Amino acid sequence: MTGTGPARKVTGGVSAMLDRLNYIWRLIGTGIAFASFGLGGLFMSVFIFIPIALFTKDEATRIRRVRGVIYRAFRVFVYFLRVGGIIDSRFHETEKLKDVRGALIVANHPSLLDTVFLMSRMPDVQCIVKHELWDNPYLGGVMRAAGYIRNDGDAEMMLRQCEKALGSGQNILVFPEGTRSVPGQALKFQRGFANIATHFNAPIQLVTIKCEPSTLTKGSPWYAIPPRQARFDITFNEQLDMADYLRHEPRSLKVRKLTRELEQYYIGKLCNE
């Protein structure tokens, strides 16, 4: 019994040291990941996407090849985060994506990595991207080569781009919040996704993203990592068929109602998971 106290102190000291070493490694690994993400985007733009553009005349084929490269790069990136013990990620019910075509992929947006996780499971997906990324020296070339849609463009032009993507069977990734959510604050959806869905009767594939503990949230610098490894759970839920949804109501009312109902759906899902 006399050795219990000292032994406990030694064990506690070793545990604290290991936790500290783990924290330092995750901090270093996060820095490496951010640097490789930006430099990787620049490398792909110059050494992969330009040759693809030069040797692929058909626009649709060119964009599909570029997105295929992005898909594989994101899979490698997610694998590095997981195997390196930096950030864990688990994907649930991914089989629901198998036959999804010409749909909106709608997800909540708790972290900077949400797009990366989702696009690592979708090889040819259209994306509505915030305009700042188009002027980013590291990622701007990626945005243009992949043919993504700017979120600050003319509304009619955006609708035409969405119509073209949906009509060709592409899925469009949308975050209804418009920006990353703030931990502890209620979700607030904008109506843009509902306008697209009701305008083209596009089905909606619902996706929930849960991150515990929170990391890379809005306004949080990359180095503000949590004391323990963050885990992302990405779940592909049910699909809404807009052809049967709110069939007999005016479109303006559909938009408001759909926005409100999905906002409440996500609040309920995230609180109960």
Please write the tens of the pLDDT for every residue from 251-265. 888 899 999 999 999
CA–CA separation, 224 and 195 (whole Å): 36
- Entry pTM: 0.92
How many structural domains is the chain composed of?
1
The per-residue pLDDT for range 152-198, each reduced to its tens digit, is 878 899 999 999 999 999 999 999 999 999 988 889 999 999 999 99
pLDDT of residue 1: 47
Question: CA–CA distance from 112 to each of 74, 162, 182, 220, 222 (Å)?
Answer: 13, 24, 12, 9, 9
pLDDT (mean) for 23-29: 98
The domain in which residue 167 lies consists of 4-272
226: confidence class by pLDDT, cuts 50, 70, 90: very high
The CATH number linked to 122 is 3.40.1130
> Which of 22-26, 87-91, 131-135 shows the lowest mean pLDDT across its residues?
131-135
For the chain, the average pLDDT equals: 92
Percentage of the chain lying above the pLDDT 70 cut: 93
Using a 10 angstrom Cβ sphere, with 0-12 exposed, 13-18 middle and 19 or more buried, the burial of residue 51 is: exposed
Contacts of 180 (CB under 8 A, 6+ apart): 109, 110, 111, 112, 114, 217, 218
